[in-house]
Structure 1
Amino acid sequence: MANPLARAQYMLAAHTPRQLPPDGGFEVAFAGRSNAGKSSALNALCQQNALARVSKTPGRTQQLVYFELPQHEGRYLVDLPGYGYAKVPMDLRAHWQAFLDKYFQSRQALRGLVVVMDIRHPLKDYDRHMLGYAVTRGLPAHALLTKADKLSRGATAAAVQAVKRDLAKDYGDTVSVQAFSGESKLGVDQARGVICSWLEIAPD
């Protein structure tokens, strides 16, 4: 079965709302704290080694980075700023807060949010903040618990259940949860299925 995300390619990076592409079509956004494994997850989902830059320096993503799916017109993956707002100047932090507020409140093309978390350190303040954006807007959200290859199978299952219980208390069943590993490819097909359903595209 072909991967509909495999031909994803860089389109643009937006630092201000006016740099965003026209508000039409379908977008799925990806958020994650520094070093949560967001770039690695995007690369694994798209079967590319360097689509999203994997950086040893936290906070390299400082724009909304758009990747287009050329064979599916108007379908985009959006990489949100990757830092947990740590070591970021206050004026830049305020700029991003305002930009993301507006993006989540008004972007009609946005169809879902994937929040990437290290399975060993899930549900930090940033993660909850981003999930709150989606839930407030009534958008589906998916918690991707990365680096599951670092844990045993039993510990992975326990971590997933713990996150599900925690999120259910705050958000009911509006946030789905899964384990994921870009290294071992655990959960890649499952996550890809969620994203493609939001984008309303079927396997090629």
Structure 2
Amino acid sequence: MKIREVVLTALMIATIVVMGMIPPIPLGVIPVPIVMQNLGIMLAGIVLGAKNGTMAVGGFLVLAFLGFPVLSGGQAGPAVFIGPTAGYLLGWFITPLVMNYSLSRRFVSHAGGQLIAIWISGVLIVNLIGALWLWVVTPISLIGALTSGLLFLPGDTLKSVAVYLVAVRMKMLSGAVSGR
């Protein structure tokens, strides 16, 4: 890795950590709150690309696993990785890879397709994996877990639009994504 890539990856980890300082919003109906960190996860995929974005998210998750209180609400430690939110963390880890793969497809060359690709990889897939894990580790039914994921869609959709606008502003969606 080049020095520039190491620095950008470290800065993205710091960005994700800082977003975790914004207090989570508990939903009450499920043990998974609304957080801002998934905005940072999507930014990692767009700004750093598949490899470095995944390294940034992976580095962030390693810090959380080791007990550093970097997850929203100060959560940390190995227990988080087997608890109700673990599926969302797995979804976060694969987001940069899936996002960059989908953005590199030729049919995603226009603005609407790019926004949909960001939304599917950063919102839909994460929420689906999270809901499936929630179903496995809690007494919530599969339908209940999938339905509860709908609570995240409005806010997560706004976050994906923000990530798209950042990427457009940085001119990162003009064919540069597939080159990383």
Task: Give the TM bin, normalised by the shorter chain.
Answer: under 0.3
Give me the TM-score of the superposition, normalised by structure 1: 0.24
- TM-score, reference length from structure 2: 0.27
